[in-house]
Structure 1
Amino acid sequence: MQTDIMERPAATRVEELVPSRYALKIGEIDVLVISDGVLPLPTETMSTNVDRETRTAWFTDQFLGPDAFDWALNVLVVRSGDRTILVDAGLGGQFPGFPRAGQFPKRLEAAGIELSAITDVVLTHMHMDHIGGLLVDEVKDGLRPDVRVHAAAAEVEFWKAPDFSRTVMPSPIPEVLQATARQFVAEYGDKLRIFETEHEVAPGVMVQRTGGHTPGHSVVRLASGNDRLVFAGDALFPVGFEHPDWQNGFEHDPEEAVQVRVRLMREAAATGELVVATHLPFPSVGRIGTDGDAFRWIAGFWDY
């Protein structure tokens, strides 16, 4: 990102003790990864099809859990040509019990990016930790009236009458997910720009539906010059590299989600493209290598 949209005078900058944004360039495309914070989740949600002992062993080996862990939340701001694109919007601050999430609005401000500068929003899917930030009053009031919100048609259709029969989510999460999605459509329905399979939002910025995690779950692919990056949304989780077949309790089609996850990782390993995902530890910029039938995450070196 250019410094004029990354920085503000020191007197107005929101100060934090740890970095919460990371800038990189994909050819001529500017990218900013912004942390929306973290939220606690039970480890069981990351491995609903394995026994407790196996799950506990893995999380203990990672110095996590064994019963709960912090889940990272990352969003993107992308600038290509005359478009400034927000990819997902985090959780928002309206949900009790998640005091360390919903940080995206203040961290966008700290980066010197005005909400009114955002021309487009791309949703990987409509779970509350991806759309909740758009329901915060200061965000709704700050966005420009002609902002365009891009989502897969299958995703919008699904939330009219969602089927949670194959998910394993703690109560009352399903009810909150549905209520949040309905509120979002009620407030942003006139701004929605629906696509079927893929759509070019701006030069070199392509959103593609994958399905799996939700029927309309999508990834965002950036390409400029020889550089490539894929924002994988919720297709990838930390446990998924060593155990791509471990199912996530939030996946609406667990078997399809495994297929999507493996396909994306194989593609990324073959191309060497950069990968960012919502729930990998911030800034979640890295590459994927193969390890027999499994995969390994290779975190990128910070460039600063």
Structure 2
Amino acid sequence: MDNISHRGGSALDELVPSRYALQVGDIDVLVISDGVLPITASTLATNAPPPELAGWLADMFLPPDVLDWALNVVVVRSGGRTILVDAGLGLEFPGFPRAGQMATRLHAAGIDPSAVTDVVLTHMHMDHVGGLLADGLKASLRPDVRIHAAAAEAEFWEAPDFTRTVMPEPVPEVLRSVAARFLNEYRGKLRTFENEYEVAPGVLISRTGGHTPGHSIVRLESRGERLTFAGDAVFAPGFDNPQWHNGFEHDPDEAARVRVRLLRELAATGESLIATHLPFPSICRVAAAGDVFRCVPSMWDY
């Protein structure tokens, strides 16, 4: 027992698992935990009556005020390309000491950042682009790496409008400054698309909007198997309460429509779902009863 890693240790063979591999046909997928960050519970459902939100939190055995929010990123290999889907938070936010683990965990998984040919961004919130600004990853990326994002997303962050969000201070200004830094440093590597773009065989980015104007999901399909990385289109409360608004949503009504449409589709196809802020490794399928949904966790394949 003296030789195993301990919780909070720095060894690469962490006691708590932080990566999970699976196959989608011929496509290799690795889910990596970037850690967790705290979020005020009220941000999860800004339009819900407080007693209803309190009841949901109690039913889920979650604290009523501040809870942990998972951060998941994905590495995809297809057609000779290695694709990083989102980049986590990065290391420069002292208020979030348990997040920003991606660079270390890529190394632990045996993935050299210089092997990454493409980065796909579901959107440009700081917990999705911050890792690209961190020294542990930025200096290791190959010079010709391609970064894909919806054109509407890049355009939005030139002059972001937060009037429909309900975010605690100082989050809006931090989001604004991180996105500005990202665009300044990576504009030359940015490859934008309008609605859809196939990054590699069976790896399709599709813009949904809602959460942010250019928010996108990544759909994988190979040999009859399918998986969707939903980014921030789906949060834990959004299964049984899909009309609840998340405080980070820039168009909350559209975000709810996107969520319901996506969950209906996933329930109909039976394909797997991964999302940024569902508990690691977040792989599940969706069951539906009208506009109420359930996240059915997939069995870990040991």
TM-score bucket (shorter structure): over 0.9
- CA apart distance, 1:107: 0.5
Q: Which residue of 1 aligns with 2:74?
A: 76
On the 8 A contact 2:150/2:194 being kept in 1, the answer is: yes
Q: Which residue of 2 aligns with 1:174?
A: 172
SS at 1:17's partner residue? coil
**Among 174, 190, 193, which residue is 1:192 paired with?**
190
Q: Which residue of 1 aligns with 2:44?
A: 46
Cα distance in structure 1, aligned partners of 2:296 and 2:48: 25
State the aligned residue count. Answer: 293
Cα distance in structure 1, aligned partners of 2:291 and 2:17: 35
Cα distance in structure 2, aligned partners of 1:150 and 1:38: 25
On the 8 A contact 2:90/2:100 being kept in 1, the answer is: yes
- CA apart distance, 1:13: 7.0
- CA apart distance, 1:53: 1.4
Gaps of 5+ in 1: 1-11
* 1:281-296 map, 5 Å: 281-296=279-294
- CA apart distance, 1:68: 1.3
Q: What amino acid is the match of 2:291?
A: D
On the 8 A contact 2:242/2:291 being kept in 1, the answer is: no
Deviations 1:214-245 (A, max 9, x none): 00000000000110000000000000001000
1:260 is aligned to 2:258: yes
**Among 192, 209, 212, which residue is 1:211 paired with?**
209
Q: Which residue of 2 aligns with 1:18?
A: 16
Q: What amino acid is the match of 2:233?
A: A
SS at 2:139's partner residue? helix
SS at 1:101's partner residue? coil
Runs of at least 4 residues of structure 1 off by over 6 A?
Answer: none
Deviations 1:40-92 (A, max 9, x none): 10110001001221111110111002111100000000000110000000001
1:229 is aligned to 2:221: no
Cα distance in structure 2, aligned partners of 1:273 and 1:184: 33
SS at 2:204's partner residue? strand
Q: Which residue of 2 aligns with 1:240?
A: 238
Q: Which residue of 2 aligns with 1:106?
A: 104
SS at 1:186's partner residue? helix
Cα distance in structure 2, aligned partners of 1:27 and 1:51: 44
Q: Which residue of 1 aligns with 2:3?
A: none
Q: Which residue of 1 aligns with 2:300?
A: 302
On the 8 A contact 1:56/1:67 being kept in 2, the answer is: no
1:276 is aligned to 2:281: no
1:94 is aligned to 2:92: yes
Q: Which residue of 1 aligns with 2:150?
A: 152
- CA apart distance, 1:147: 0.2
Q: What amino acid is the match of 1:134?
A: L
On the 8 A contact 1:43/1:68 being kept in 2, the answer is: yes
Cα distance in structure 2, aligned partners of 1:195 and 1:239: 30
On the 8 A contact 2:85/2:121 being kept in 1, the answer is: yes
Q: Which residue of 2 aligns with 1:4?
A: none
On the 8 A contact 2:119/2:146 being kept in 1, the answer is: yes
- Which range is displaced more, 94-103 or 290-299? 290-299
Deviations 1:161-208 (A, max 9, x none): 000000000011000000000000111110000100000000000000
What is the TM-score normalised by the length of structure 1?
A: 0.95
Q: Which residue of 2 aligns with 1:7?
A: none
SS at 1:143's partner residue? coil
SS at 1:64's partner residue? coil
- CA apart distance, 1:138: 2.2
SS at 2:20's partner residue? strand
- CA apart distance, 1:293: 2.7
SS at 2:286's partner residue? strand
Q: Which residue of 2 aligns with 1:9?
A: none
Cα distance in structure 1, aligned partners of 2:257 and 2:263: 10
Cα distance in structure 2, aligned partners of 1:79 and 1:17: 26
Q: CA RMSD in A?
A: 1.0
Cα distance in structure 1, aligned partners of 2:209 and 2:91: 28
Q: Which residue of 1 aligns with 2:4?
A: none
SS at 2:288's partner residue? strand
Q: What amino acid is the match of 2:257?
A: Q
1:124 is aligned to 2:117: no
Identity %: 67
